[in-house]
A and B are shown apart, each in its own frame.
Chain A
Amino acid sequence: MRHLLSAADLDRQEIIEILDLAEEMAQVLHRPIKKLPALRGRTVVNLFFEDSTRTRSSFEIAGKWLSADVINISAKGSSVSKGESLRDTVLTVAAMGVDALVIRHQASGAPAQAAQWIDAQVVNAGDGMHEHPTQALLDAFTMRRHFRGRAGEDGDGPTDFTGRTVASVGDITHSRVARSNALLLRTLGAEVIMVAPPTLLPSGIDSWPVEVRTDLDSVLERADIVMMLRVQRERMSGGYFPTPREYTVGYGLTRDRLARLRPEAAICHPGPMNRGLEISADAADAANSLVLDQVAAGVAVRMSVLYQLLGGADEDADHARATSATVKETIR
């Protein structure tokens, strides 16, 4: 795997490998020495053009627990205000000899563009409205544990996502999490339903491999997982919906709706939550809320991703061997 720019970059086998490895990595959390030597000598730069303490520290811990050298660069405002182009900023960082760039940017496509310009490997940590593949992976990790009864059992589980229904509810148009999740969950075999008021459904969504609904109540009982997406209050100035209370009545996970979920269903939210707007306090803190599990999963999943990218030889290196598939097979 050279870059992770989109959830569509991964096929089903790759996703499962990442999730299985994340289960192994998750053990590190409970060890006295939170260190694995696998990425020793590798240098990872978190190049964040957009603030995100949570995602950035998650990547930072992930890199450090794998013994990589991790550097955080907050490029917010610096390049644009000084007139430095994105290309110059990326090339300058890459010229320091880094192995991987983890990039978050407010513009869709920036990590993909960066990958064209440099030799280093690129992880998309969230680009505009486009994608957030590691978030989708940690969501899938969390859901899989839930489906497996939170036992984290090893061995071949059932086809965990086949026949499952995941409902994504909220501002789909502006949600990179929704896009990545739709792609990833479909690859894993789940059914995806996207629910939003018509003004918050992106153009062309009818061509996505998802079911589209504007009525939340009609899909509640079908959902194994309800993924509530954050609705930004700023969207009101764009006229997407009249008032927060109208939004909550139509699309919020209220106490009433919480009660109507199937007993074995679970609730997810990528955070940060607007308690009382898209998700009631009752739902956020409910027994079947996986929100905290999602947060905990972040480091393990990102460790897994960083290892997949950097743990072996550079793909371009001459001494990379052609027997990679069989080498992997050997271990299994």
Chain B
Amino acid sequence: MSAYLITGADLAGSGRGDLLIIDGRFADPADAPADVERIDADGLVALPGLVDLHTHLREPGREDAETVATGSAAAARGGYTAVLAMANTNPVTDTAEAATHIAALGAAAGHAQVVPVGAITKDLAGAELAELGLMARSAAGVRVFSDDGHCVADSRLMRRALEYVRAFDGVIAQHAQDPRLAGPDACCHEGEISGRLGLPGWPPAAESTIVARDVELAELTRSRVHVCHVTTAETVEVLRWAKRRGVAVTAEVTPHHLLLTTDEVLGYDPTYKVNPPLRPAEHVAALRAALADGTIDAVATDHAPHARHDKEHAFADAAFGMVGLETALGVVIETMRDALGWAGIADRMSAAPARIARLAEQGRPLRPGEPANLVLVDPSARAVVDAARSASLSRNNPWHGRELPDPVVATFWQGRRTFARDSAAV
């Protein structure tokens, strides 16, 4: 395998240094062999490989929209060395066999570590627990369980799930959406725009009431709960209250919820239809503040690829979701660089998600002995996003045509370069 000597990079904001990659790990740069490939990283920032807690890879079932191979390739382009693949595939990932299959697909593709998320309930039906233990014991080693797409609304079932996974240090990741307050038709933040446009509203209370219940249940069961895609100021307040009390709750926010507001849906363009929906500016501000102070622990993309025909419907009928693996870091740099700095970005996009997902080899410091999972970032590069230039099979990209930071220069996973942008430096 190749060896790389990366020189002059700013190491996650802690100062300039060199990195030697040999046999999949970082080593003392002084031990670089003579035939090492040198990479001049002067002016670049080195971050630990990014970890995405929330990705939809669509395989099995919708390989027309994305496959494990294409999705993980997109991840590598975005600087990710690990992605957690949500369970709402077809068939649902609710057995050890299904989970193992997905992990194997990821390993074969070789672009990033693909870790399957196990469903909480059989077939995502919200009625009976899935084989959580068998999935945990499988070769895939599932630790994160989620019915994402659906909310586990039954309080007793949620309690049982939280209790059960404590045995193997699992975490229940909740898609917080009270189905009685925001049903399957709800597609627009409930407010002035939903009323004017005649779109079914999705009130913040539908999210925050579930989160409030779940933190109480997490405390009751002495177990860990994770909140997927937080979108409201109300939920942020609940998280602050819960963390003050020492509840084992973690939370994630998507890049699009850090920058886009509900104004985007004014033209009824289904590109901006996502669940949970985009919110008004005051919520975006609250989310940024929460990510800055750690109330929200991590950024997760909720990368949701869709075939074109699934989006080319009337707004209310179109599929929910946006692609986001390749633009995530750029959006976070655009919105949070001043508040977080590179160390903060490294934490929110790598260390924290790796910790939540219990991925021992990910989110590690950039030091000799650690696994060589790394992304080299050009802090000043910007570009106009072109949806067509993507490793993903899908084009439902809300950033198309916008100018954003275009930071990823190269990605290394287990010491192997999984992505390199065409440039003289790499």
Contacts and interface: CB of A to CB of B under 8 A. Distances in A.
Interface of A: 80, 83-88, 105, 107-110, 112-113, 116, 127-131, 173, 176, 179, 202-205, 207-208
Contact of A205 (B195, B201, B312, B313): B195
Interface string B10-29: 00000000000000000000
Nearest to B316: A107
Interface string B188-216: 00111111111101000000000000000
A193 to B, nearest CB: 17
Interface string B365-384: 00000000000000000000
Contacts of B191: 203-204
A204 B316 contact: no
A207 B192 contact: yes
B197 A109 contact: yes
Contacts of A208: 196
A87 B195 CA distance: 25
Contacts of A207: 192
Interface of B: 190-199, 201, 267-270, 308-310, 312-317
B314 A107 contact: yes
B314 A130 contact: no
A108 B317 contact: no
Nearest to B189: A203
A107 to B, nearest CB: 3
A137 to B, nearest CB: 18
Contact of A86 (B192, B198, B314): B314
Contact of B268 (A88, A109, A205): A109
A128 B268 contact: no
Contacts of B198: 108-109, 127-131, 176, 179
Given A85-B313, A108-B268, A109-B198, 17 more contacts: A85-B310, A85-B312, A86-B312, A86-B317, A88-B312, A107-B315, A107-B317, A108-B199, A110-B315, A113-B269, A113-B314, A128-B199, A179-B196, A203-B191, A204-B193, A204-B194, A207-B192
Contacts of B268: 108-110, 112-113
Given A85-B309, A86-B314, A108-B315, A203 B194 contact: yes
Nearest to A117: B312
12 contacts: A85-B309, A85-B310, A85-B312, A108-B199, A109-B197, A109-B314, A112-B268, A113-B314, A204-B192, A204-B193, A204-B194, A204-B196
Contacts of B313: 80, 85-87, 107
Contact of B195 (A83, A86, A88, A202): A202
Given A83-B309, A112-B267, A105 B314 contact: yes
B318 to A, nearest CB: 8
A22 B267 CA distance: 30
B316 A128 contact: yes
